[in-house]
Amino acid sequence: MRILLVGAGGVGTAFAQIAARRRFADLVIADYDLSRAQRAAEAAPGRFTAVQLDARDEQATAALLTAHGCDVLMNATDPRFVMPLYRAALQAGTHYLDMAMSLSHAHQDEPYAKTGVKLGDDQFALAAEWEQSGKLALVGIGVEPGLSDVFARYAADTLFSEIDEIGVRDGANLEVAATTSRPPSRSGPRSRSASTRRWSGRRAGAGSRPRRSASPRPSPSRPGSARSSA
């Protein structure tokens, strides 16, 4: 199996290092910055290849998938690049995976009263074309959304007869001000508040899905920490 890994940042590099310990696939690692792709490919010299790619260029991505005979496109880029990569994989006839989803957009005329484009809507709109292609697209398989949704559904289906609310706390934007060269201040390390998603509503059967609450729950204050006003 050959995988086109697009994005050689922290996530893509970690993916390459894990894949280097396993023999199930070779990687073609692509990044806008070729030097970053080359550093990630050093995890398995001879097995991994580094190339330069602009993830916004759908046609160039499709051509790269075909030229290297890739079976899968693994998207490890910013969510803004989801759709061109998603369409490129469909065009090239390969499988597709990503850890984020196509972005949401507020309603153009009534953003506070009506639902606009939801997270993943642009991808789900192409579901019929993916079915016709016979290829698999697994989207949003990161921790949140992704794994947290799986846990929530499992809890609703198997662990509880009723669920009033499920809170998912995301600490991925944690910041610690102190460094190894400077001790922390007396107030302790500072952090931004963790984002939160909630599901609410009673379980109505195995085929139902908990409803998502639109309003986030503020993170509790802790000594030595400050919450962002954003």
pLDDT digits (tens, 9 = 90+) for 200-211: 444 444 444 444
User: What does the pLDDT look like over 67-84, one tens digit per residue?
Assistant: 999 999 999 999 999 999
Confidence of residue 174 (pLDDT cuts 50, 70, 90): low
Q: How far, in Å, CA of 71 to CA of 84, rounded?
A: 17
User: Is residue 134 one of the residues assigned to a domain?
Assistant: yes
What global pTM score does this model have? Answer: 0.68
Does residue 219 lie within any of the structural domains? no
Specify the DSSP class assigned to residue 181.
Answer: T
Identify whether residues 79 and 174 lie together within a single domain.
no
Domain housing 208:
163-213
**pLDDT tens-digit map of 17-33:** 999 999 889 999 999 99
Counted domains in the chain: 2
Q: What is the CA radius of gyration of the chain?
A: 21
Residues 44 and 118 both lie in one domain: yes
Residue 80: partners with Cβ closer than 8 Å, 6 or more residues away: 103
Of 169, 167, 168, 164, the C-alpha closest to 200 is 164
Q: What is the pLDDT of residue 31?
A: 98
Better-predicted residue by pLDDT, 168 or 80? 80
Give the pLDDT confidence of 91-142 residue by residue, as tens digits: 999 999 999 889 999 999 999 999 999 989 999 999 999 999 999 999 988 8
Q: What is the pLDDT of residue 130?
A: 97
The answer to whether position 20 is within a domain reads yes
Residue 65 belongs to some domain of the structure: yes
Beta-carbon contacts of 65 under 8 Å, excluding residues fewer than 6 positions away, are: 4, 73, 88, 89, 92, 94
